[in-house]
């Protein structure tokens, strides 16, 4: 007789996927033409992920985190933005769980901020989720189980993307960017290396209003003894990503996260190579998910996370590796 006790089941599980960037076009390359992008087959990889999450042998996820760039900006060129989004949303809606959408730069290549707020990519619509930040900033939080909370951040709150060129928000973002980047093409980094590379047009930042709101959410979570996972399209820890993918004011966001005991993990997309770092002082995990768009059709890039009292266990598929994320 086996004396080993059966492992306890997880409190809940959730799926995670990033940078699908679907477009009904032939394969191409990234901005620097150094990496192949599989535009059309990315939808098939999403379908494969949905089948895995829906498998009778799998634990049904409580929700799916879609970490941004769900369709590619090239759809705008071909006047196919609505058609591409409908194809991806049809697939996502047929899956086993509700989807929490994060907005990335490619959302703003295709749609204005006002259009996104009215779209299916606004996960705060209806009565499913509470805790949304007002003022046109796409940030909210939700609790899938007692003592656990997830916070979705708007990494393009301060950005040129999605903003009317006549708006105060656009002018303020342009001033920040041009203070660091003197190039005519603002998508070209101002330096060949180092953290200054982050000051490019395809990134953005978090406004003071959003940072103050996040601090309030985390303070309440501290008081309740909750464990909080924060998600954003842009990474915010320099050791978890290529510097060119960092948020403009990652340091201010990090300062908020590191001042609250409730934070256990930060998840992001944007850097298609992925990345990981655990802060040695706070114990917080910074996880950047590999992108579907640069994943060959014969593999995949998605994960399923099982949440326990003392840890989260990421079961990766394809390019995403397994990880045990012990809580601080």
Pair 155, 206: CB distance under 8 Å: yes
Cα distance between residue 159 and residue 173, in whole Å: 5
Cα distance between residue 140 and residue 217, in whole Å: 9
Per-domain boundaries in the chain:
12-326
Ordered per-residue pLDDT tens for the chain, 328 residues:
455 567 799 999 999 999 999 999 999 998 788 899 999 999 999 999 999 999 988 889 999 999 999 999 999 999 999 999 999 999 999 989 999 999 999 999 999 999 999 999 999 965 445 567 878 999 999 999 999 999 999 999 999 999 999 999 999 999 999 999 999 999 999 989 999 999 999 999 999 999 999 999 999 999 999 999 999 999 999 999 999 999 999 999 999 999 999 999 999 999 999 999 999 999 999 999 999 999 999 999 999 999 999 999 999 999 999 999 999 9
Cα distance between residue 196 and residue 182, in whole Å: 12
User: Of 164, 139, 155, 151, which is closest to residue 206 (Cα–Cα)?
Assistant: 155
What does the block give as tokens for 46? 């999403």
Whole-prediction pTM: 0.96
Q: What integer pLDDT is reported at residue 204 of this predicted model?
A: 98
Using only C-alpha atoms, the chain has a radius of gyration, in whole angstroms, of 19
Pair 197, 210: CB distance under 8 Å: no
Go through the chain and tell me how many residues it has: 328
Q: How many Cβ atoms sit within 10 Å of the Cβ of residue 243?
A: 17
Q: What integer pLDDT is reported at residue 315 of this predicted model?
A: 97
Q: What integer pLDDT is reported at residue 31 of this predicted model?
A: 79
Q: What integer pLDDT is reported at residue 2 of this predicted model?
A: 52
Q: Which CATH number fits domain 12-326: 3.20.20.140, 3.60.21.10, 3.10.20.30, 3.40.640.10?
A: 3.60.21.10
The sheet carrying 63-66 orders its strands as: 98-101, 63-66, 12-17, 301-307, 311-318, 323-326
Cα distance between residue 178 and residue 206, in whole Å: 17
Q: How many Cβ atoms sit within 10 Å of the Cβ of residue 303?
A: 25
User: Of 248, 298, 292, which is closest to residue 270 (Cα–Cα)?
Assistant: 292
Cα distance between residue 203 and residue 187, in whole Å: 9
Residues 6+ apart with CB under 8 A from 44: 297
Q: What residue has token string 């899956």?
A: 95
Cα distance between residue 259 and residue 277, in whole Å: 18
Q: What integer pLDDT is reported at residue 126 of this predicted model?
A: 52
């Amino acid at each position: 007789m086996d004396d080993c006790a059966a492992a306890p089941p997880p409190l809940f599980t959730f799926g995670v996927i990033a940078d699908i960037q679907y477009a009904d076009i032939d394969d191409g390359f990234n901005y620097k033409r150094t990496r192949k992008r599989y535009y059309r087959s990315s939808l098939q990889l999403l379908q494969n992920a949905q089948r895995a999450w829906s498998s009778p042998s799998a634990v049904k996820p409580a929700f799916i985190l879609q970490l941004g760039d769900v369709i590619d900006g090239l759809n705008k060129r071909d006047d196919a933005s609505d058609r591409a989004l409908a194809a991806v949303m049809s697939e996502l809606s047929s899956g086993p769980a509700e989807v929490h959408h994060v907005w990335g730069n490619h959302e703003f290549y295709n749609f204005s901020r006002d259009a996104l707020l009215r779209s299916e990519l606004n996960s705060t619509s209806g009565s499913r989720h509470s805790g949304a930040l007002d003022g046109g900033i796409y940030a909210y939080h939700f609790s899938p189980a007692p003592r656990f909370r997830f916070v979705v951040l708007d990494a393009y709150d301060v950005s040129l993307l999605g903003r009317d060129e006549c708006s105060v928000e656009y002018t303020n973002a342009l001033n920040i960017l041009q203070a660091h980047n003197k190039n005519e093409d603002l998508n070209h980094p101002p330096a060949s290396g180092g953290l200054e590379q982050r000051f490019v047009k395809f990134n953005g930042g978090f406004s003071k209003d959003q940072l103050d709101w996040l601090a309030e959410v985390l303070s309440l979570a501290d008081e309740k003894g909750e464990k909080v996972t924060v998600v954003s399209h842009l990474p915010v820890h320099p050791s978890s990503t290529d510097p060119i993918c960092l948020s403009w004011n990652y340091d201010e966001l990090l300062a908020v996260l590191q001042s609250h005991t409730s934070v256990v993990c930060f998840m992001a997309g944007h850097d298609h190579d992925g990345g990981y770092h655990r802060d040695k002082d706070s114990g917080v995990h910074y996880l950047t998910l590999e992108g579907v768009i640069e994943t060959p059709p014969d593999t995949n890039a998605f994960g399923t996370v099982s949440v326990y009292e003392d840890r989260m266990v990421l079961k990766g598929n394809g390019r995403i590796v397994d990880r045990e994320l012990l809580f601080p």
